[in-house]
């Protein structure tokens, strides 16, 4: 029997929330808000898994090589194009203001390599790593009928990941090797395990979503006590089970709550879908005002730096305007056969 996989608006709502929180995090909000929103990147990886499952159900399997090319063109190539424009923009600004260029060759290289800490592009490397392994995770999920067995395997994988982090911290002393290993191996494995839960999401009964969320909450509380209530941000680089436990607790809880039509209808707007659809572009463009504040803050209106709310209005508003312009320009450019 043929059936159509409809778009799940819950994913759109949560993706819109995630990009909202990620931009908010870069406005230096008050500590309480900064801590509460710290589920955002975990939620993004979780949604990548769920989206990949739905896409596979709708379109069927892909040849892995073609799939990789599509993911590279979707995640890496646009980031590189943006970075070219980004560095040209700030080079021109440095000339106009008679200032030395703000970025070193090392900064530029690390940005294109998507190394953590350089122009915020590290998250794209994470997304690409997750995309690389998602087809294999889906194959494993399809072969395992029991949710219990699947999650027992994930527990084993998480414990293995935990020991990888320990080995990573204790045995690698070279800073550059440590940086590369964390960026491409540790982050890739960690967030892929989060995506593995998203891939299984639609095989879990609604009521069990709340149970699983509660188990992650219990794990989070236990690890909070063990770590003397140290903020989870301390355990984000590389991401530990403590960091993931909070993100997965919130992700599963929000997905469960949005399973109720009344709650879902409260957030189901065209603008929400637009934010979700354009989340990557919003992420790219919000980095420009971050560096404008950093390098040209003296030339900008003083109200922007009043507090994190005004900074958010500036960052989010700038990104919105740039995405609107981007989409208008894109419509004007004829598509090639390979686009």
Q: How far is CA 161 from the centre of its chain?
A: 19
- Quote the pLDDT of residue 5: 55
CA nearest to 46, candidates 288, 211, 255: 255
Could you give the maximum distance between any two Cα atoms of the chain, in Å?
A: 68
CA angle, residues 11, 217, 158, in degrees to nearest 5? 80
Q: Tell me what the pLDDT averaged over the chain comes to.
A: 92
Region of 291 on the Ramachandran plot (φ > 0 left; ψ -120 to 50 alpha; else beta): alpha
DSSP string, 247-275: HHHHHHHHHHHTTSHHHHHHH--HHHHHH
For 239-267, what is each residue's pLDDT tens digit? 999 999 999 999 999 999 999 999 999 99
Question: What number is the average pLDDT over the span 86-108?
Answer: 94
* CA separation for the pair 263, 265 (Å, rounded): 5
Mean pLDDT of 160-174: 80
Question: For residues 19 and 120, what is the distance between their CA atoms, to the nearest angstrom?
Answer: 13
Dihedral of alpha carbons 339, 23, 193, 142, sign: negative
Residue 336: the pLDDT is 56
Neighbours of 312 (CB within 10 A): 19
pLDDT for res 303: 95
With b for 16 or more beta-carbon neighbours within 10 A and e for fewer, the 222-259 pattern comes to ebbeeeeeeebeebbebbbbbbbbbbbbbbbbbbbebe
Percent of the chain with pLDDT over 70: 96
pLDDT of residue 184: 87
The H or E element containing residue 329 is helix 308-332
Instruction: Grade residue 338 by pLDDT with cuts at 50, 70 and 90.
Output: very low
Mean pLDDT of 314-339: 86
Ranges 1-10, 60-69, 100-109, 226-235: which has the least confidence: 1-10
- Tens digit of pLDDT for each residue in 273-285? 999 999 999 999 9
d(CA 253, CA 168): 32
Residue 114's CB is within 10 A of a number of other CB atoms, namely 25
Q: What is the dihedral of CA 197, 198, 199, 200, to 10 degrees?
A: 60
Q: Which of 186, 40, 84 is nearest to 125 (CA)?
A: 186
What gap in Å lies between CA 100 and CA 252, rounded to an integer? 48
**For the whole model, what pTM was predicted?**
0.93
18-41: average pLDDT: 96
Sequence length of the chain is 339
Tell me the two tokens of residue 295: 């390098």
On the question of pLDDT at 4 being above 70, the answer is: no
In the chain, the percentage of residues whose pLDDT exceeds 90 is 81
The four Cα atoms 272, 277, 278, 279 give a dihedral, to 10 degrees, of 80
**Average pLDDT of the segment spanning 29-37:** 95
């Amino acid at each position: 029997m043929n059936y159509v996989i409809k778009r799940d608006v819950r994913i759109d709502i949560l993706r819109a929330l995630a990009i909202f929180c990620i931009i908010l995090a870069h406005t230096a909000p008050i500590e309480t808000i900064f801590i509460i929103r710290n589920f955002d990147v975990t939620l993004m990886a979780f949604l990548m898994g769920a989206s990949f499952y739905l896409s596979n159900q709708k379109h069927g399997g892909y040849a892995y090589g073609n799939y990789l090319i599509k993911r590279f063109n979707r995640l890496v190539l646009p980031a590189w194009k943006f970075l070219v424009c980004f560095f040209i923009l700030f080079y021109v600004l440095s000339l106009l203001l008679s200032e030395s260029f703000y970025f070193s060759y090392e900064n530029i290289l690390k940005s294109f390599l998507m190394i953590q800490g350089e122009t915020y592009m590290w998250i794209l490397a994470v997304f690409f790593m997750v995309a690389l392994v998602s087809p294999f995770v889906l194959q494993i999920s399809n072969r395992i009928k029991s949710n219990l067995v699947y999650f027992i395997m994930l527990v084993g994988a998480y414990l293995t990941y935990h020991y990888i982090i320990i080995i990573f911290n204790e045995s690698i002393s070279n800073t550059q090797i440590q940086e590369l290993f964390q960026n491409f191996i540790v982050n890739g494995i960690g967030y892929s395990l989060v995506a593995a839960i998203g891939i299984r999401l639609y095989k879990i009964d609604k009521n069990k979503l709340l149970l699983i969320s509660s188990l992650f909450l219990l794990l989070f509380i236990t690890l909070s006590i063990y770590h003397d209530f140290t903020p989870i941000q301390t355990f984000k680089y590389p991401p530990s089970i403590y960091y993931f436990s909070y993100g997965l607790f919130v992700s599963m809880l929000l997905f469960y709550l949005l399973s109720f039509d009344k709650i879902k209808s409260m957030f189901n707007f065209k603008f929400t879908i637009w934010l979700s659809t354009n989340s990557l572009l919003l992420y790219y463009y919000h980095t420009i005002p971050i560096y404008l504040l950093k390098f040209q803050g003296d030339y900008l209106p003083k109200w922007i730096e009043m507090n994190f709310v005004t900074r958010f209005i500036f960052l989010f508003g700038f990104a919105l305007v740039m995405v609107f312009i981007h989409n208008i320009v894109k419509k004007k450019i004829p598509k090639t056969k390979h686009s």
